[in-house]
């Protein structure tokens, strides 16, 4: 089973290996905690990423956040440049 959480600019996928009874319990539990998430059962699993369009304002905001991480020394110039090229 996989849990996909779509944010405003990114999609997170978390994979779980368990039996179908546990899948159902996990889906119920996580649905109560995280609304709006989608689940894939193990027979529906896919490695294909889900493409979500990013608006220009989201792109600018993400770049600002990465720039702050760069300025604070959390990420390297190389990591910043890579993310910038991915976004633009």
Q: Which residues contact 5 (CB under 8 A, 6 or more apart)?
A: 11, 12, 13, 14, 34, 37
Q: Is the pLDDT at 59 greater than 90, yes or no?
A: no
Q: Is the pLDDT at 83 greater than 70, yes or no?
A: yes
User: Is the whole model's pTM more than 0.75, yes or no?
Assistant: no
- The percentage of residues in the chain with a pLDDT greater than 70, rounded to a whole number, is 43
CA 49 vs CA 60, 64, 83: distances in Å: 22, 25, 17
């Amino acid at each position: 089973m996989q849990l996909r959480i779509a944010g405003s600019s990114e999609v997170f996928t978390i994979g779980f290996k368990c039996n179908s009874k546990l899948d159902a319990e996990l889906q119920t539990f996580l649905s109560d905690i995280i609304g709006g998430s989608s689940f894939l059962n193990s027979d529906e699993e896919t490695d294909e990423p889900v493409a979500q369009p990013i608006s220009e304002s989201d792109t600018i905001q993400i770049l600002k956040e990465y720039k702050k991480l760069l300025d604070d020394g959390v990420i390297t110039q190389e990591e910043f440049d890579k993310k910038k090229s991915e976004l633009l």
